[in-house]
Chain A
Amino acid sequence: MSGTYLGLPSFPKAAHDSTRDTQLRANLTHATHTIRTKRATAINELTDWPQLRAAGAAIKDHTLHHLDHYLLQLEAAVTAAGGTVHWALDANEANTIATQIIKNTGETEVVKIKSMTTQETGLNHALETAGIHAYETDLAELIVQLANDKPSHILVPAIHKNRTEIRDIFTTHMTHWGRPAPDNLTDNPTDLAEAARLHLREKFLNTKIGISGANFMIAETGTMVILESEGNGRMCLTLPDTLITIAGIEKIIPTYQDLEVFLQTLPRSSTAERMNPYTSLWTGTTPHDGPHTFHLILLDNGRTDTLADTTGQQALRCIRCSACLNVCPVYERAGGHAYGSPYPGPIGAILTPQLRGTTTPLDTSLPYASTLCGACYDVCPVAINIPQVLVHLRERITQGGPTTTHGTRTTIQPAKGHRLERTTMRATRWTLNHPTALQHAHNLATHTRHLHPQHLPGPAHHWTDTRNLPPLPPHTFRHWWQHHHQTPPTTNTGKGTDTRSETATDTGTDTGTAGTDTGTGTGTGTNTQTDGGPQQ
């Protein structure tokens, strides 16, 4: 992905700051809860939601499993309709192709529709380097661009800014980009929208090149589909002479009929509307209507590597609705920027490490940016099992294993920084697989419970920074069961013996490190208080 996201801190480090930003927290809570509630209402209108969801997932899976076929069909259809199709292996190549197309026209300005794909490739920066100014025209993207900021939400990119901040951004920065903000601009949203309308209209009427992404590309007809609300998309798609569309290869769907599924599920999942205000469909070029030149750049940039992972490939079903962000309790507290990519929230946590690989502290932290609560999977209109993929990617980080990088099959090593955790996991696994050792460890822990620290050492201090430890009872349950509970007459003969299991099925990877810490991953210390625990 883009260089603009290089060098960002890991998710927990970024979240350390953002969770303390009370304004951000308030904005996010208000926004996500509002959309969440509205979405539930919109979806409840459709009694066949589960069927639509299953059909959407099936269409996407079917397409992915025949992706070469459908891409070639799309290429043929777009070409027949007067368009030109380009293929880009990575972000750089896509940006270079787009830059060259623009340079060939002699133009130095372009208008853009909100496009996550061009954020992913860092197109604006690449164009700027080539002396081409790209104007974002979605209201929120305009705000973000004027403020030299980054989007923080898929649907509402400036969700982290409130009206006063937006007024100040317009007043200060519009003048450097074109028509200045009106004098004495208020922070009334209607006035702010009017200022944006006036500022952008001169761009729309005069700019000869438009750049867009695509929500869907229909293979059988070569038709592009874009959903939007403000009309800036229609402006960019209709008024320029040249239109350049950059889209990931996973945006393809086989047939026009398939839209009957996605045009029901996407708006309701995204803006919680029955239908978004504007949807545009175009096929190549149309004489005397709209751009006379159309270029489609098909982007890989990690998508084929993602496709090669049978568990992770379901992330390519994503239709970018952002429903998962709006229900995610982690996103709500950490904010979009902590995810360090154009794709924030739960979907970003599984998409980014697959597209970019797991080589940086940020990208290895993303699969852990979830409690696995499952709210994202519940709302996903294409049924991406995000928790399942998160765990799968955690495994790639901790264990390494076979993967595909830049089209080459390879075996990656476990990521750095997990040595202590790996040792602990191995030791606890050994102990937990040897009940006698476990019982000894339990006994040791309970007998020394008055000596246990109230504040845990090492990474576990994060637990005791904000929480007390549960008091360790004087005896375990099994102690009580063995000593005080009469064993039922139907003893489960053969199941109590453990001699086989202690050795036979051990994978042999450990070296007998039966850690004395009986940790189960959830903390085992106690405070020194004499408790009113169970008395026998």
Chain B
Amino acid sequence: MTTNTSRDEILRRIRQALGTPTPTTPPDPTTIPRNYLTTHAHRTPQQTTNLLADNLTDYRATVHRTTETHLPHTIANLLTHHGTQRAITPPGLPPHWLTHITTPLTTTTTDTHPDPHTLDTIDTVITHSALAIAETGTIILDASPDQGHRAITLIPDHHICIITPDHIVESLPQALPRLNPTRPQTWISGPSATSDIELTRIEGVHGPRTLDVIIVTAEPSTAPAETVSDEPSA
């Protein structure tokens, strides 16, 4: 049986099952009830960032907070601390983030596939992120130039991922409208993990075993005061 026939037959069976011998009329998805919440609490930006950090930590990522000024130091320190011999970055990462690095650094290009065997010899990958979701502790990569090919954040055993303040949302319903679904996306919530052996959680099976997340916060001098408006006293 050729696949064309199977296609027709499957469509025929569906229409028979639904009692609609001709193609069904264009559906109206607005009938689906969507009265679930778009966020599960009212939070200040600071509270959202704290929640993100808590949830990332809960899933065994290591969270570091720093300012844009100190970011190059933080990245360099993490490489030193990890004992990184070779690191890799995507082509679009802001160069001034990498100014303190002394480790040998490879930068990928957008128009070629990175070689997996070469990636297997690299210790650390440093990337930006497209978005982070506080309620679930999730980082989203969408293969933009500052995040690179999917393979570079997969094969090296150590991932340093940078989250900038304008890329933090509270919840899934807030996240999806900000993403392009047709870009290859990788959603990361903590390092690779398995619980397949007696439900014992083990970090790192195939993906990076160490996930360092750097949350970039506003400069202290320019940071707006984190206050929730006070109720007038009676």
Q: So, do A and B actually touch in the complex, CB under 8 Å?
A: yes
**A residues adjacent to B (C-beta < 8 A):** 27, 30-31, 34-35, 45-48, 51-52, 54-55, 58-59, 62, 65-72, 81, 86-89, 93, 97, 137-140, 143, 156-158, 162-163, 166, 189-190, 192-193, 196-197, 200-201, 204-205, 218, 221-223, 229-232, 234-235, 237-239, 249, 254-257, 259-261, 263-264, 271, 273-283, 286-290, 298, 300, 304-305, 307-308, 313, 404, 407, 409
A81 to B183, CA, bound (A): 11
B225 on interface, CB distance cutoff 8 Å: no
Does A51 contact B35, Cβ atoms closer than 8 Å? Answer: yes
A48 to B171, CA, bound (A): 13
Does B116 contact A239, Cβ atoms closer than 8 Å? Answer: yes
Using Cβ atoms and an 8 Å threshold, which residues of chain A touch B206? 137, 197, 200-201, 204, 230-232, 234-235
Known: A156-B196, A260-B172, A274-B137. A87 touches B7 (CB 8 A): yes
Using Cβ atoms and an 8 Å threshold, which residues of chain A touch B59? 273-275, 277
Between A70, A163, A197, A304, the greatest number of chain B beta carbons within 10 A of the residue's beta carbon is seen for A304
Does B113 contact A288, Cβ atoms closer than 8 Å? Answer: yes
Does B16 contact A407, Cβ atoms closer than 8 Å? Answer: yes
Does A280 contact B185, Cβ atoms closer than 8 Å? Answer: yes
Partner of B33, one of A55, A201, A255: A55
Using Cβ atoms and an 8 Å threshold, which residues of chain B touch A278? 186-189, 192, 207
Chain B interface size, as a band, is 35 or more
Encode contact with A along B169-193: 1 for CB under 8 Å, 0 otherwise.
Answer: 0001101110001111111111111
A70 to B10, CA, bound (A): 13
Partner of B10, one of A87, A232, A308: A87
Name which residue of chain B comes closest to A235, CB basis. Answer: B206
Using Cβ atoms and an 8 Å threshold, which residues of chain A touch B36? 48, 51-52, 55, 261
Partner of A62, one of B29, B150, B185, B198: B29
Name which residue of chain A comes closest to B192, CB basis. Answer: A231
Question: Can you list 17 pairs linking A and B with CB atoms under 8 Å apart?
Answer: A35-B199, A48-B37, A65-B27, A72-B23, A158-B196, A163-B197, A163-B198, A193-B202, A222-B182, A229-B192, A230-B192, A231-B154, A255-B29, A264-B172, A273-B59, A308-B13, A404-B13
Known: A200-B206, A234-B186. A289 touches B194 (CB 8 A): no
Q: Nearest-CB distance from B40 to chain A (Å)? A: 7
B136 on interface, CB distance cutoff 8 Å: yes
Known: A47-B37, A261-B36. A86 touches B3 (CB 8 A): yes
- What are the 8 tightest A-B residue pairs by CB atom distance, in nearest-first order? A231-B207, A231-B206, A304-B13, A308-B17, A279-B187, A230-B205, A275-B189, A140-B196
Using Cβ atoms and an 8 Å threshold, which residues of chain A touch B182? 81, 221-223, 283
Q: Nearest-CB distance from A20 to chain B (Å)? A: 21
Does B14 contact A307, Cβ atoms closer than 8 Å? Answer: yes
A300 to B191, CA, bound (A): 36
B232 on interface, CB distance cutoff 8 Å: no
Using Cβ atoms and an 8 Å threshold, which residues of chain A touch B172? 259-260, 263-264
Using Cβ atoms and an 8 Å threshold, which residues of chain B touch A279? 185-187
Partner of B193, one of A237, A249, A277, A298: A277
B81 on interface, CB distance cutoff 8 Å: no
Using Cβ atoms and an 8 Å threshold, which residues of chain A touch B14? 67-68, 71, 249, 304, 307
Encode contact with A along B125-148: 1 for CB under 8 Å, 0 otherwise.
Answer: 000000001011110000100000
Partner of A97, one of B3, B23, B191: B3
Partner of B32, one of A55, A218, A237, A290: A55
